[in-house]
């Protein structure tokens, strides 16, 4: 998830978009304008898994308005979905996988839960750090480009090996969690 347009491309809120674009590039999956919803979509193989990638063309807080109709049209159940997004609870360089749960203050996740009617989707939470002052959160996430060093740490953390990415695409979430959460240099 992220915000559309070049003004947001290098912001913390768009680290999920960066991950999806990385995944597409790594496995040779191209994007085209999605015909059924506002956004860009791609389809291809990651290992033996036939995957659909979606970059919603909406603002983060309205992601559910794009993702839910797309998922319904292609009959993708929430339990089959992986959502990549920015996580302020983790520093750049930390990536965690979680299944289900609440929105934890993340309006994009709140929108998905509301429009999907389910909390049971998988979440790839990519650390972007916290501004230190909650009042600065919106500016920190959407108006300030992520410093190059932090962006490099975040990107390095989601540049996982093929075996792990294939397991992720094939839905082997517990195996991915065990390995990802126990990786050297990964905290908490």
The CATH number given to whatever domain includes residue 151 is 3.40.50.1470
123 touches 104 (CB < 8 A): no
Low-confidence ranges of the chain (pLDDT < 70): 183-188
Q: What are phi and psi of 86, to 5 degrees?
A: -75, 140
Active site (annotated) includes residue 106: no
Strands 122-127 and 82-87: what pairing? parallel
Return the pLDDT at 36. 79
* Gap between the Cα atoms of 145 and 20, Å rounded: 19
* Gap between the Cα atoms of 28 and 44, Å rounded: 8
Report the number of distinct structural domains present in the chain: 1
**What is the DSSP-derived secondary structure letter of residue 100?**
S
Return the pLDDT at 180. 86
In a domain, 3, yes or no: no
In a domain, 4, yes or no: no
Beta bridge partners of 97: 124
Length in residues, the chain: 188
Query: Is this structure's pTM higher than 0.95?
Result: no
In a domain, 155, yes or no: yes
Reduce the DSSP state of residue 157 to 3 states and report it. Answer: helix
Residue from 13, 106, 115, 122 carrying the catalytic annotation? 13
In a domain, 79, yes or no: yes
Token pair in block for residue 116: 């999907």
In a domain, 31, yes or no: yes
State how far the alpha carbon of 147 is from the alpha carbons of 72, 104, 153, in Å.
37, 25, 10
In a domain, 1, yes or no: no
Instruction: Evaluate the CA torsion angle 15, 72, 100, 168 in order and state its sign.
Output: negative
In a domain, 145, yes or no: yes
């Amino acid at each position: 998830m992220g915000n559309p347009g070049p003004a947001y491309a290098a912001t913390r809120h768009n680290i999920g978009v960066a991950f999806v674009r990385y995944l597409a590039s790594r496995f040779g999956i191209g994007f085209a304008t999605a015909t059924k919803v506002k956004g860009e979509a791609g389809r291809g193989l990651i290992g033996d898994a036939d995957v659909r990638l979606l970059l919603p063309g909406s603002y983060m807080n309205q992601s559910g308005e794009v993702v839910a109709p797309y998922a319904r049209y292609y009959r993708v159940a929430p339990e089959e979905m992986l959502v990549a997004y920015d996580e302020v609870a983790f520093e750049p360089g930390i990536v965690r996988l979680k299944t289900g749960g609440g929105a934890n203050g993340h309006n994009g996740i709140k929108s998905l839960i509301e429009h999907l009617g389910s909390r049971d989707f998988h979440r790839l939470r990519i650390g972007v750090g916290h501004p230190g002052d909650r009042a600065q959160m919106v500016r920190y996430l959407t108006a300030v480009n992520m410093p190059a060093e932090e962006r490099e740490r975040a990107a390095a953390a989601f540049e996982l090996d093929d075996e792990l990415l294939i397991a992720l695409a094939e839905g082997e979430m517990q195996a991915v969690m065990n390995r990802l959460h126990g990786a050297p240099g990964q905290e908490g």
